[in-house]
Structures are given as structure tokens and as C-alpha cells.
């Protein structure tokens, strides 16, 4: 099997207490069965605390959705008491993700993490990928699915090549990759208000998103009939890396889920929101992080958005 990873994957390391938006707050933390069994055997006062804070296969969150094992320094007590190997699967793997397409395994890192967003945006040059042989079982695909996968991966590779061609003006790269022109930078939607209206239909992740969405609405109301302008926070390199990474994460999943056009257009939709509303979302790394959390980590939201963009 071939393992593919983005160029910054191996540089990722959790920043722990230095993180300004820890993933140990605001998320329901499910515990895999193996970890639950291990926790049931931990001795002493800490073992008692473990068992007292597990309910229905997840940790019982404290007020403000804080993990009961996150200490005052924003460090994990399970890690401190029992070591990294004692972390449950989701705590050990997050924000990593993996997708398997036949004989190809693709790994990546979720943009809901501010350190991941920083690594992606601060990378030099176009986004690149590494590939290596690994000893893992393949997912069997029938002949028709194998043919479709090859077509999907070829189309995706053409998008990567177009975005990476720094000798070509950026607007021409956007046209080659996505069919976007200066006449309608919001394609396949009509304007910035269409971006907002689609966002407003999503299920809210929480108060941070509600506040950001309200700021976007207020900005549009203030602008009135004036066109919304790119706020200028993203360089061409940052934009091309972000677009390529979103295509990497989502486009090939059309093999199993459909919505090929919607998954391609999702990258542009995401990019348009962060570049037109960076101030409203709170500087560019936060803009990427909060939008990823709102959209990419909710199946209902992704299905609704991709369906709306599948034109």
C-alpha cells in the first residue's frame, strides 16, 4: 500500500499548554473500549477519579465543556499520571485523520487545530506530498470503482498542478483548477451574501461560531450595496496551499459519497469565507480554525454545504 502525507504532516506536534484553544474543551470525548477496560484496572485515587468521570463511553465534561482531566495549566492528567500510551484513541490521534482508497492510504491533520493551520499557512512554496510503501492491507475495490478512483485521483492531481504553477498568474491558476474568473470570484455562488446565507443554514458548533456569524452579518449590512472586498490577509502561496489541502482532504471521498462538484467547490467556498471575512472570524489562523471546526467536523453541515455547491 502507498501512504501519502502532506509536506508538513511529520512536523506536527501538539503544543499542549501553549495552545490558545485546547481541543480538551468544547468537544465530547468518546473513549474506545480498550481504553475503558484499561482505565477500569487503574489503582489508587487516580483510578477512582478515572472511573468516576466516565459515563456512557465518554468523559463527563465539566462546566464550559472542559475535560475533567485537563488541569489548571491545560495539561492532561492522564498523560501525566499514566503516560502517552494510556490516552484513549481519539485523544492520541486528534487532529490526525486517515482515508483509504483501494491501495492508497492518505493521512492528514485537521485544520480545527491552530498549530495545523499555522504549519499549513506558513509552509514555503506550493503544497507538496510525500509517498512511501507501507505494509498495510488494501481495501478491495471492484473494477468499476477502481476506474472511477483513477479518474478522481487524476482530476485531483491536475488541480494540485494548476495551483502549484507559480510561473502562472494566480487568477489563471484559479480558472484552470476551479473555473473561477474575476467576473464571479464567488462561483459557484453569486456573491458574498450567498456565502453568508449558506453558512447561516449550518448547525452551530457553539457560541464562538454564533459570534463570528453575527459579525459577518453585521459587516454585510454595513456594506449595503457595496461589493465585499478580499481583506488581503492571505498571500497567493497561503491561498494555493489552503485550496490544495482542502481538495486533498475532501475531493477523493466522492468515490464513496458522490457530490464530486460539491467537494471540489467546497475548497473555494471555504477559501472565500476566510479571505473575505478574516477580520470577522478573528485573524487568519483563527479564521481557518473556527471555520474548519464549524464545517468539517459536522457531517450534517458538510452534507448540506456540499449538496448546495454540487452544481
Alpha carbon 163 to chain centroid distance? 19
Alpha carbon 176 to chain centroid distance? 24
- The string of DSSP codes covering 130-168 is EEEE---PPPP--HHHHHHHHHHHHHHHHHHHHHH-TTS
E-assigned strand segments in 40-151: 54-55, 58-59, 96-101, 104-109, 129-133
Q: Are 179 and 188 in contact (CB under 8 A)?
A: no
Q: What percent of the chain is predicted at pLDDT more than 70?
A: 100
Q: Are 224 and 217 in contact (CB under 8 A)?
A: no
Q: How confident is the model at residue 182 (pLDDT cuts 50, 70, 90)?
A: confident
Is pLDDT of 22 > 90? no
The arithmetic mean of pLDDT across residues 3-30, rounded, is 90
All residues at 6 or more sequence positions from 183 whose CB lies less than 8 Å from its CB, including other chains = none
Supply the pTM of this predicted model: 0.93
Collapsed DSSP state (helix, strand, coil) of residue 292: helix
* Strand partners of residue 181: 184
Residue at grid coordinates 473556527: 290
Please provide the distance, in angstroms rounded to a whole number, between the alpha carbons at the two ends of the chain: 34
The arithmetic mean of pLDDT across residues 213-234, rounded, is 94
Q: What is the pLDDT of residues 86-130, one digit of tens each?
A: 999 999 999 999 999 999 999 999 999 999 999 999 999 999 999
Q: What pLDDT, on the 0 to 100 scale, is given for residue 126?
A: 97
For strands 104-109 and 2-6, give the pairing: parallel
Q: Is 27 left (phi over 0), alpha (psi -120 to 50) or beta?
A: beta
- Residue, of 107 and 20, whose pLDDT is higher: 107
Separation in Å, CA 293 to CA 8, 59, 133, 169, 289:
20, 20, 32, 31, 6
The arithmetic mean of pLDDT across residues 223-234, rounded, is 92
Q: What is the pLDDT of residues 35-67, one digit of tens each?
A: 999 999 999 999 999 999 999 889 999 988 899
Q: What pLDDT, on the 0 to 100 scale, is given for residue 26?
A: 83
Q: Nearest to residue 252, comparing CAs of 98, 127, 115?
A: 98
The arithmetic mean of pLDDT across residues 22-37, rounded, is 89
The arithmetic mean of pLDDT across residues 172-180, rounded, is 95
Is pLDDT of 184 > 90? no
Q: What pLDDT, on the 0 to 100 scale, is given for residue 93?
A: 92
Q: Are 163 and 128 in contact (CB under 8 A)?
A: no
What backbone phi and psi angles, to 5 degrees, belong to 23? -75, 0
Amino acid at each position: 500500500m502507498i501512504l501519502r502525507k502532506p509536506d508538513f504532516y511529520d512536523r506536527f506536534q501538539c503544543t499542549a499548554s501553549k495552545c490558545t484553544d485546547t481541543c480538551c474543551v468544547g468537544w465530547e470525548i468518546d473513549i474506545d473500549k480498550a481504553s475503558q477496560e484499561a482505565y477500569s484496572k487503574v489503582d489508587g485515587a487516580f483510578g477512582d477519579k478515572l472511573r468516576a468521570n466516565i459515563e456512557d463511553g465518554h468523559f463527563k465534561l465539566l462546566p464550559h465543556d472542559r475535560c475533567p482531566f485537563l488541569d489548571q495549566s491545560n495539561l492532561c492528567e492522564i498523560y501525566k499520571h499514566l503516560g502517552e500510551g494510556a490516552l484513549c484513541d481519539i485523544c492520541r490521534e486528534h487532529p490526525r485523520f486517515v482515508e483509504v482508497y483501494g491501495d492508497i492510504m492518505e493521512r492528514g491533520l485537521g485544520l480545527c487545530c491552530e498549530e495545523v493551520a499555522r504549519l499549513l499557512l506558513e509552509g514555503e512554496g506550493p503544497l507538496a506530498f510525500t509517498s512511501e510503501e507501507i505494509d498495510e492491507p488494501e481495501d478491495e475495490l471492484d473494477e468499476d470503482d477502481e476506474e472511477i478512483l483513477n479518474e478522481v485521483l487524476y482530476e485531483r492531481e491536475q488541480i494540485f498542478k494548476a495551483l502549484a504553477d507559480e510561473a502562472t498568474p494566480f487568477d489563471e491558476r484559479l480558472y484552470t483548477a476551479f473555473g473561477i474568473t474575476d467576473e464571479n470570484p464567488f462561483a459557484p455562488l453569486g456573491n458574498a451574501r450567498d456565502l453568508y446565507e449558506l453558512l447561516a443554514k449550518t448547525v452551530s458548533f457553539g457560541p464562538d461560531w454564533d459570534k463570528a456569524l453575527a459579525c459577518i452579518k453585521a459587516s454585510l449590512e454595513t456594506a449595503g450595496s457595496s461589493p465585499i472586498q478580499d481583506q488581503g490577509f492571505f498571500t497567493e502561496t497561503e491561498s494555493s496551499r489552503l485550496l490544495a489541502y482542502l481538495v486533498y482532504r475532501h475531493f477523493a471521498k466522492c468515490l464513496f459519497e458522490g457530490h464530486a462538484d460539491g467537494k471540489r467547490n467546497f475548497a473555494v467556498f471555504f477559501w472565500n469565507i476566510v479571505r473575505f471575512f478574516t477580520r470577522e472570524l478573528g485573524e487568519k489562523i483563527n479564521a481557518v480554525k473556527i471555520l474548519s471546526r464549524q464545517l468539517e467536523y459536522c457531517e450534517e453541515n458538510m452534507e448540506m454545504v456540499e449538496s448546495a455547491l454540487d452544481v
